[in-house]
Amino acid sequence: MSHNYDVILNGCGPVGGIASLLLATRGFKVAVIDLNKSPYPHPRAVGLNGYSMSIIETVLKDSWKEFQFTSAVEVGYVMGITKMDKPFGKMEPPIIEGKVLDLDKYGFLNWFNQPQLEKLLRIQIKKNKNITTYFGTESLVLWEEKSRNCLQIQNTVSGKTETITSKYLIGADGGGSFVRKQMGANLKTLGKAISFLVADIEAPASSLKEGMHFDAGGWQIIDPSGKRPTTFINMTGKKHGTYKNNFRFEFALKDGENFTQMQSPDSIEKLVEPFLRKSSFKILRSTVYKFNSMISEMWRANNTFTIGDATHQTSPFLGQGLNLGIRNTFNLIKKIDLVNKGVSEASILDKYQVECFPDSQFIIKQSLFMGNMLFNVKPHINFLRSIIYFFKGARGSPIDLFPAFVPETITVPNGFKPGKTNQKGYPMYNFMTKEGFPRSLREYKPFEYRVLCNNSSVEIDKVLKNIDKAIKPLCIVLSEGLNGEKTSDDILVCAPRKEDKKMHRKLFNKADYVLMAPGYTMLGTYNNGEEDKLFADYKSLFDLVAH
């Protein structure tokens, strides 16, 4: 007799692990399969944004306190290792009222250790009664029969095969996805693949060489003459963070170089030595990666889906691969849940790709653009960069790259017109918490549909009162704070700098409501008196079952 589940997840990397826990807590019976008995040990993701952190906090439950992370407070673009203190471009969160934006919780970018995250996820998975694990198991054949997905799997040690079935099957099986191939989905290439030597080094911050007294952050080193662009990350915060004594190096490999020789401990030591004192570091793990920029053209085939790297792979220059995976997975799981609850028609499942594709493609391209800043060493680009360096870096006034790193708000094909509102307004909006800490609005309950209300939610609350609670959006009042308002459970007061107040006006641009999808997608803006239109537009997103 075959085992039957609500959902089978093929792959238990970080995205599959998170998906299984999100589904299990919504009552689904889940099977999780992974080729490997233990998490993948190689150096991979190091940076998570606030959105991902909030989902991880939710699913890790009691293991959250063990999860180590340190928020980055600076990321610089520098011309070479001798000019580390003179970045020509810098991304650092603003300091508002003497406090770094978002640093009281999780920052805009948080360093972490992917193998540790995967280990903690597996601990929660093992504890969850709704999840059955098949670790050390390979998926062999996938087919659909009588509206069910059937999967033949094989234990890699005993060789025993069995077939399991489910209503939904999700491929979370990484870049080489078995499920994506079985669905017949094509991968669209968005940019050239590049090879890097990636090394994780254990060392205290005190081993940094003279002149490198950095706080937790990252540096993209152009190296126009040596042609070895390098990413260098210090995970130890001077006064904050729990993930310590780790450095990440990513060295570009040149065509014709012997990749295996480059990976020898001697070669890595030579590459790391300009940064760290030799006697005080240890190579923890290293590997060579080819960074792809690809997106699948088909994310759903009936009740079979792909998530995470199985759907999109991006170069790491914005540190967004896993972040994208987590954000899009949450979108899909919410939709599966609504169909299961009888709230939405199955047609809503098509909107997973419709809603997430534009944002994902944009980020992959944005990451390529940032990579090009690092990689392009053509003479005219070098010349342009030296001019910027001369006027900006050398004079201690680097270009502010923070806006390039915060995901832009975009509209989706089934979204509504964002009216006159400036679409870039949303991500940079900062408010003060009740406790007086500056926070970015993009990290405020980003996994909810939200109606941002300009000064009052009275009228929209009346209209939304009767909506099914499964799809009820979060209504939150944003105030410019002109009358001394203070942040409370129902109102967020924008931060006091003139840039923040300006952003409030830019965000609404005379509108009274901004409707946001989870993540950073703006669906439309509305004025007072248009509450019924907002309600109708909003409901149309959910393909509601007619009663």
Ligand X SMILES: Cc1cc2nc3c(=O)[nH]c(=O)nc-3n(C[C@H](O)[C@H](O)[C@H](O)COP(=O)(O)OP(=O)(O)OC[C@H]3O[C@@H](n4cnc5c(N)ncnc54)[C@H](O)[C@@H]3O)c2cc1C
Contact footprint for ligand X (CB under 6 A)? 10-16, 33-36, 40, 43-47, 114, 138-139, 172-174, 178, 198, 289, 308-309, 316, 319-323, 325
Which one, 250 or 530, has the nearer CB to ligand X? 250
In the complex, minimum distance from the CB of residue 440 to ligand X, in angstroms, rounded to a whole number? 18
Which one, 72 or 522, has the nearer CB to ligand X? 72
Cα 472 to Cα 27, 287, 448: the distances in Å are: 20, 46, 9
Say which residue the tokens 């799997």 belong to: 153
Rg (CA), the chain: 24
Say which residue the tokens 């008995």 belong to: 37
In the complex, minimum distance from the CB of residue 310 to ligand X, in angstroms, rounded to a whole number? 6
In the complex, minimum distance from the CB of residue 249 to ligand X, in angstroms, rounded to a whole number? 10
Which one, 76 or 319, has the nearer CB to ligand X? 319
Which one, 359 or 500, has the nearer CB to ligand X? 359
DSSP state of 469: G
Neighbours of 324 (CB within 10 A): 29
CA-based nearest residue to 375, from 239, 224, 538: 224
In the complex, minimum distance from the CB of residue 152 to ligand X, in angstroms, rounded to a whole number? 11
> Rounded distance, CA 234 to CA 353, Å?
36
Which one, 102 or 173, has the nearer CB to ligand X? 173
In the complex, minimum distance from the CB of residue 396 to ligand X, in angstroms, rounded to a whole number? 28
Which one, 217 or 481, has the nearer CB to ligand X? 217
In the complex, minimum distance from the CB of residue 211 to ligand X, in angstroms, rounded to a whole number? 26
Beta bridge partners of 134: 33
Are the beta carbons of 31 and 5 closer than 8 angstroms? yes
CA-based nearest residue to 454, from 537, 515, 538, 522: 515
> In which element (H, E) is residue 221 found?
strand 217-221
Beta bridge partners of 439: 431
Which one, 112 or 535, has the nearer CB to ligand X? 112
In the complex, minimum distance from the CB of residue 507 to ligand X, in angstroms, rounded to a whole number? 27
Alpha helices (H) along 291-425: 321-340, 351-375, 379-388, 402-405
Q: What DSSP assignment string belongs to 513-543?
A: EEEE-SSSBEEEEE-TT-HHHHHHHHHHTT-
Which one, 316 or 418, has the nearer CB to ligand X? 316
Give the three-state DSSP class for 261. helix
> Rounded distance, CA 37 to CA 460, Å?
51
For the packed helices 321-340 and 14-25, what is the interaxial angle rounded to 10 degrees? 30
Which one, 316 or 425, has the nearer CB to ligand X? 316
In the complex, minimum distance from the CB of residue 493 to ligand X, in angstroms, rounded to a whole number? 31
> Rounded distance, CA 364 to CA 454, Å?
33
> Rounded distance, CA 342 to CA 344, Å?
6
In the complex, minimum distance from the CB of residue 171 to ligand X, in angstroms, rounded to a whole number? 8
